Amino acid sequence: MSSRRLAVARGDEPADLVLTGGKVFSVFTKEWLETDVAIVEGFVAGLGTYKGREQLNVSGSYLVPGFIDAHVHIESSKLMIDQFSRAVLPHGTTAVVADPHEIANVLGTDGVHWLLDACEEVPLDVFVMAPSTVPASPLESPRRPFSPGDLAGLLRRHRTIGVAEMMNFPGVIAGLPSELGKLTTTLTSHVDGHAPGVRGRALNAYIAAGIGSDHECSTYEEALEKRRLGMWIMLREGSAARNLVDLLPLVLERGPERCMFCTDDREPVFLVEEGHIDQMLRVAVEHGVSAEDALVMATLHPAEYHGLAHLGAIAPGFQADIVVLDDLRTFRPKMVLKRGAEPVHRSIEIPEWVRQTVNVGPLADGCFAVRGPARHIRVMRVIPGQLVTGNEVMEPAANDGLLVADSSRDLVKIAVVERHHATGRIGVGFVTNVGLKKGAFASTVAHDAHNVVVMGVDDADMLACVRRLAQIGGGVVVVEGGEVRGEVALPVAGLMSDAPLAAVHEELAGMEKVLRHNGVTWEAPFMCLSFLALSVIPDLKITDRGLVDVNRFELVPLRVD
């Protein structure tokens, strides 16, 4: 605290900037105050009548605090941190709380420390939760597992504010020493949760372990039970998991307390076409939530939960992150001030060592073949707009003694190829409710270990996808008839592009158009594909080690009989 801030607050000295004529939102009383805002050294000095070296008339506008994303995986945007900052700040998002467990699975602690260093170069405030579960479960294969020392080292970084989502919820509930040790480091008591569908006594045990939040609720009933027990609820609206509308009754019937917004995983197409936290505000108000209740969930509540005492309000002593709005329906900013000024962006240089991450080794023709016979097989059923999947039993299709895809029955093959150590390990299974009629598509974004996940109705096209991804250093690709029909290179850890948002969006949108032409019915098909490899979201998933029954938390055979 400088003496000049106090002098400005007292009115003894002029402010750097005074915003005049606007209606200022008090997050503490949910009132709109017709007052000036005095800013000095990037902070709000006071509300009232002030003189400034510069004055900006914002008459007719609404002034609200900068929006805060309570939980996000920046890597899922497929953008480097500098491009992500450029993408979300114009939408009013001035701070995010990130879990970098994507890059952690690919590049280990070196990758996370590099990303933390890069955050210093962008105007967006990026706070980090130390990845708690690398890999997400013992049933996945990252570059290397995190040790307790790795976690402790990250927690000592000044930008790190807690422990990220505890995805191994069965291990926490069972009281495994390896998982409980992550909660008792003595370096922090702030821990995010990940407990999809966990209810009853199991939920009591999970919360009793010291876990404070959850972003995996998909129904009102689940969210209400967790909130009743003291959890903070992150209402999520991601590309593959659009849970916001289903959870808004929690706010409408019980108020906004202990609720906040998060995007979790949001792709470029979503960012360009709909926005960021501003989109969640818009949807909430459209469904009956008051603008004031929606705004506290986008500002004050995430700041309070995460202990960011200087953010989330326009009030004396708070950082001057201010969004100027024309109305309280569209929430489209006409101006965004970061620390009292327009954001200044810089580009980040990317070292070569983060680009060399796809190591699948030689793959033989026929590596995705599944030999029969089998009377019945386990099949993942994709549920649109959700990360959870169904676990079905179906009769397989057979050809020349092999179990194959059958587009006439919407039975599509899926495989995960280990890509960190060229082990040649491949898990193969089948999926339904996809719609794919021809070709294949694949990605090195495959939550959370980020091996190569590939889906198709033709084994040769699937293999061509994987080989092409190895050539371009990772990304997403669509192949049909042996020819590449579209690709986006993601050379940064096989997760992120070094190109601007507009370019990545254009390429992805074109590829999604090809997939729709080939029959795929999903929204955000690449994001949806990536989550089929996540072994901590029920019911049935696949990793390089095989099919995972998440409810039983064990590998299960493809064949049922």
pLDDT, one tens digit per residue, over 472-489 is 999 999 999 999 999 999
Residue 61 belongs to some domain of the structure: no
- CA atoms of 207 and 226, how far apart (whole Å): 9
Contacts of 516 (CB under 8 A, 6+ apart): none
Which residue reads 């309280």 in tokens? 328
Number of domains in the chain: 2
Q: Please state the rounded mean pLDDT for residues 191-208.
A: 97
Of 309, 325, 343, the position where a domain reaches its end is 309
Q: Please state the rounded mean pLDDT for residues 368-382.
A: 95
Please check whether residues 268 and 362 belong to one and the same domain. Answer: no
∠ CA 40-122-294 to the nearest 5 degrees? 70
Please check whether residues 412 and 304 belong to one and the same domain. Answer: no
Residue 375 belongs to some domain of the structure: yes
pLDDT at 340: 97
Q: What is the mean pLDDT of the chain?
A: 96
Residue 323 belongs to some domain of the structure: no
Residue 11 belongs to some domain of the structure: no
The CATH code of the domain that includes 283 is 3.20.20.140
Model confidence at 356, pLDDT cuts 50, 70, 90, reads confident
Q: Please state the rounded mean pLDDT for residues 419-444.
A: 97
pLDDT at 520: 96
Q: What is the chain's length?
A: 561
Residue 317 belongs to some domain of the structure: no
Does the pLDDT at position 313 exceed 90? yes
pLDDT at 561: 77
Please check whether residues 263 and 409 belong to one and the same domain. Answer: no
Residue 274 belongs to some domain of the structure: yes
Please check whether residues 279 and 171 belong to one and the same domain. Answer: yes
Please check whether residues 117 and 256 belong to one and the same domain. Answer: yes
For the ranges 30-34, 218-222, 352-356, 540-544, which has the lowest average pLDDT?
A: 352-356
Please check whether residues 390 and 254 belong to one and the same domain. Answer: no
Q: Please state the rounded mean pLDDT for residues 254-268.
A: 96
Please check whether residues 361 and 305 belong to one and the same domain. Answer: no
- CA atoms of 155 and 157, how far apart (whole Å): 5
Does the pLDDT at position 1 exceed 70? no
Q: Please state the rounded mean pLDDT for residues 13-33.
A: 98
pLDDT digits (tens, 9 = 90+) for 132-169: 989 988 999 999 999 889 999 999 999 999 999 999 99
Please check whether residues 302 and 395 belong to one and the same domain. Answer: no
Give percent of the chain above pLDDT 70: 100
Backbone angles phi, psi at 327, to 5 degrees: -150, 170
Does the pLDDT at position 385 exceed 90? no
Residue 518 belongs to some domain of the structure: yes
**In this structure, are strands 31-34 and 23-26 parallel, antiparallel, or unpaired?**
antiparallel
pLDDT at 97: 98
Please check whether residues 299 and 440 belong to one and the same domain. Answer: no
Helix (H) or strand (E) holding 371: strand 370-371
Residue 495 belongs to some domain of the structure: yes
Torsion angle of the four alpha carbons 136, 142, 148, 149, in this order, in degrees rounded to the nearest 10: -150
Please check whether residues 219 and 115 belong to one and the same domain. Answer: yes
Of 275, 309, 343, the position where a domain reaches its end is 309
Does the pLDDT at position 529 exceed 70? yes
pLDDT at 372: 86
Q: What is the pTM of this model?
A: 0.93
Asked if 490 and 475 count as a contact pair (C-beta separation under 8 A), the reply is yes
Backbone angles phi, psi at 255, to 5 degrees: 85, 170
* Structural domain for 378, as ranges: 354-556
Please check whether residues 108 and 244 belong to one and the same domain. Answer: yes
Asked if 58 and 336 count as a contact pair (C-beta separation under 8 A), the reply is no
Please check whether residues 257 and 147 belong to one and the same domain. Answer: yes
Helix (H) or strand (E) holding 222: helix 220-228
Model confidence at 222, pLDDT cuts 50, 70, 90, reads very high
DSSP string, 249-313: HHHHHH-STTEEEE-BS--HHHHHHT-SHHHHHHHHHHTT--HHHHHHHHTHHHHHHTT-TTSS-
Tokens of 408: 């006439």
pLDDT at 2: 84
Choice between 237 and 384, residue whose per-residue pLDDT is larger: 237
Give percent of the chain above pLDDT 90: 95
